Structure 1
Amino acid sequence: MNKSFLLILSLFMGQTTAVYAQSPQINIYSFRKYELIKPVLAQFEAESGIKVNLVNGKSKRLLARLKQDGEASQADVILSSDLAQLHNHKDLLQPIESRQTWQNVSSALYDENGYWISISMRTRALFSLSEQTSQPIPNSFAQLKQADYQSALCIRDWQHNYNATLAAALLTTDNKKDSDWLKLGNKLLAKRPSGGDRDQLRALAQGHCKLAFANHYYWHMMKRADNKRDQMLAKKLSIHFLQTEDGLTPVSTTSAAIAKHAPNKQNAELFIAFLLTQKAQEIYAQSLHEFPVLNDMMASHVPFRPNLPAIKQGLLRLADANKLLAKH
């Protein structure tokens, strides 16, 4: 077990033993699907003895509930599927105080005032059919503007936050070649956008398009799914990590924060510290197929050069990205 986490655990448990007439617990609001965080939650419960109460839901609904409940809110921790969901609602959060485990995390991955910290990374990858020989595969986003890629692409709704975050990151490079392809919009599409990321991968495997965009971990999830058909379809695909003109690959992050009126604040601090231990980060990497945020794990787990500064910079370009994508 990580030494920093052990220290925080011993301090918190020592301070709160008398307080808990009942078993210690933590209430988590998650914008992420349960299947994506189940292994991490189970490991935390096993190591800390703290019971996790999970509420899943769409970000807008849970944020509205937080605001409506006010001081009566029972939420302790917020887990986001996209950083913008937390960054734009700091009025519902409070600074995280225990930051011992942040020393091994780039400052590009957390709020300077401690309101949120990234706990895993992902990228919006491009997929192709493994046995496809006629369709050229781009290495960079700039190449998507070429005629070869028109009417070739499957992608979910252009205005989905995954696409908006990617577009915002591309706009931060100040090289128009990185984002010009987005102006082509529907000219790139082989079919009308519908469904989620896994639906795009299924459509690609079934021959409805020649290329598809999806968050990289959905492909891994399909490969080990209980659904044999999804396993078969996923095996037909290859993954590609596109670069901007400076040789970097845009990434987005999942993030954690403490609710403003958290009734179990110390447990919330402990949970976030746990998320940044090597064991928890290995779970994200091995079980969830997301990329770790710890500096000393990136080299062995991230197969490209991630554009970390664009994570925060992209927050400032989201309005521009949404305006651009709204035209499609």
Structure 2
Amino acid sequence: MLRLLAGILVLAFALSAAVGASAETKEVNVYSARHYDTDLELYDRFTSETGIRVNLIEGDSDELIARIEREGKQSPADMLITVDAGRLWRAEEKNLFSPVKSEILEERVPAHLRHPDGLWFGLSKRARIIIYNKEMGRPEKLETYADLADPANKGMLCMRSSSNIYNVSLLASIIEHEGAEEAEAWAEGVVANFARQPEGNDTSNVRAVAAGECRVSLVNTYYVGRMLGSGSEEDRAAAEKVGLVFPDQNGRGTHVNLSGAGVMKHAPNRENAIAFIEFLTSDWAQKAFTEKNHEYTAVPGATEVSPVPGTDEFKEDELNASALGRNQAEAVRIFDRAGWK
């Protein structure tokens, strides 16, 4: 009897210690595909305010997703942060996220910038805009994405590869709005207007337009904002030579994409992860995304500062970002058939 009682007491003590250790875990394991030094300030501020240490694992989005899937139930990952809704969708398809119910996130993050079932939440935005060479002048037909496929703009366009997730997501939005047939006609029209075969990234295409190698391109806003605020005189000069068009202001609005985060299915520190995502939607964090990395806030009204100097508020497409992932495979097939390499 005494031996049994002693055994029960030992077991109770062990359980109490385990619960106490769990309650005292003051960390969150963040797998992030955002490679911006400015984000480190966000992590430090969160730790300072909450006492929760941020353990950061950085990597390519697809590599991180594969790693979490491979680690399975033993994964230490509490949350995944990545750029582009298409990549969030890839993680969703692998069944890596756990639904989150948070009044703070539902109140602060607009419905079109979060998953309908709470699997992920947008943290910051970037708009995919048209740029043109100021010296050459703005082409007459350059108000909408559809205008990029107009024969009037033949030989004017330089683009990055169709394999780039930003272009895939833009086409995915066109599929959702107009159907696959219209989306394919658009892609074919854009290819017919190429000044050269696709190459480079958004920054190099800003430079190409500025240098007159082509007249028009598509880029994400934060690349332009970053170049305008750069310590490099060459980058600033290039960005100042391009004019900006926020497409479809008289229609559905300009296509926006996002950086977003979700809590992992097997997160060992789930509540800490939710608290961290909530923190990233605070006014202070949202301002940091704008002022430090030239991104638009996901939370409306969090700051009045424009991430791209000289630009005002614009009408954005309020298509739910989950559609960008849902139409991703079809977008890739259309690009291939259109010959957009």
Normalising by structure 2, report the TM-score: 0.82
Match of 1:29 among 31, 42, 51: 31
Work out the CA distance in 1 between the residues paired with 2:143 and 2:173.
17
SS in 1 for 2:34: coil
Residue 317 of structure 1 is matched in structure 2 by 327
User: CA, structure 1 residues 35+126, in 2 after alignment: closer, same or farther (shift >3 Å)?
Assistant: farther
Work out the percentage of aligned pairs sharing the same amino acid: 27
Secondary structure in 2 matching 1:126: strand
| 1:28–1:63 distance in 2 versus 1, CA, 3 Å | same
**Cα pair 1:127 1:212 within 8 Å, conserved:** yes
Partner of 2:54: 52
**Cα distance change, pair 119–83 in 1 and its aligned pair in 2 (3 A):** same
Q: Partner residue of 1:73? A: 75
CA–CA distance in 1 between the matches of 2:193 and 2:25? 55
Please say if 1:165 is aligned against 2:169: yes
Q: Does 1:155 align with 2:159?
A: yes
Letter in 1 for 2:162: W
Match of 2:96 among 77, 92, 107: 92
Q: Is the 8 A contact 2:105 2:121 kept in 1?
A: no
1:242-253 pair list within 5 angstroms: 242-243=247-248, 246-253=251-258
2:205 maps to 1:200: yes
CA contact (8 A) 1:95 1:115 kept: yes
What do you get for the CA RMSD once the two structures are aligned? 2.9
Offset at residue 156 of structure 1 (A):
0.9
Distance 1:245 1:326, change over 3 A: farther
Q: Give the letter aligned to residue 183 of structure 1.
A: E
Equivalence for 1:10: none
Other structure's SS at 2:67 match: helix
Name the stretch that deviates more: 51-60 or 72-81: 51-60
Measure how far apart 1:198 and its partner are.
Answer: 0.9
Cα–Cα, structure 1 residues 244 and 296, in superposed 2: closer, same or farther, change >3 Å? closer
Q: Residue 125 of structure 1 is aligned with which of 126, 129, 145?
A: 129
How far is 1:117 from its partner? 1.0
Deviation, structure 1 residue 31: 1.8
Q: What's 2:315 paired with?
A: 305
Which blocks of at least 5 consecutive residues in structure 2 are unaligned?
1-18, 307-311
1:131 counterpart SS class: coil
Deviates more, 1:247-256 or 1:38-47: 38-47
Q: How does 1:197-276 map to 2 (within 5 A)?
A: 197-243=202-248, 246-276=251-281
What is the Cα deviation at residue 47 of structure 1? 2.8
Deviation (angstroms), 1:244: 7.2
Task: Indicate conservation of the 8 Å contact 1:142/1:245, yes or no.
Answer: no
Alpha-carbon distance in structure 1 between the residues aligned to 2:116 and 2:150: 40
- Structure 1's unaligned 5+ residue stretches are 1-16
Whichever residue aligns with residue 87 of structure 2, its letter is Q
Cα deviation 1:3-29 (Å, max 9, x = unaligned): xxxxxxxxxxxxxx9648998332211
How far did 1:298 drift?
8.8
What is the CA–CA distance in structure 2 between the aligned matches of 1:226 and 1:18, rounded to whole Å?
Answer: 50
* Equivalent residues, number: 313
Aligned residue for 1:172, secondary structure, equals helix
Residues 172 and 134 of structure 1: CA distance in aligned 2, closer, same or farther (over 3 Å) = closer
Q: Secondary structure at the match of 1:118?
A: strand
Q: CA deviation at 1:290?
A: 1.6
CA contact (8 A) 2:141 2:152 kept: no
8 Å contact kept, 2:126–2:220: yes
What residue number does 1:82 align with?
Answer: 84
Q: CA deviation at 1:115?
A: 1.1
Inter-CA distance 122–267: structure 2 relative to 1 (3 Å threshold): same
Instruction: State the shift of 1:201 in Å.
Output: 1.0
- Paired residue for 2:119, among 105, 115, 118? 115
Letter paired with 2:104? Q
* Shift in CA distance, 115/23, structure 1 to aligned 2, threshold 3 Å: closer
Distance 2:44 2:153 in 1: 43
User: Which sits farther off after the overlay, 277-286 or 100-109?
Assistant: 100-109
Q: Is the 8 A contact 1:79 1:256 kept in 2?
A: yes
SS in 2 for 1:257: strand
CA separation of 1:292/1:122 partners in 2, compared to 1, >3 Å: closer, same or farther?
A: same
Q: 1:281 to 1:105 in 2, by over 3 A?
A: same
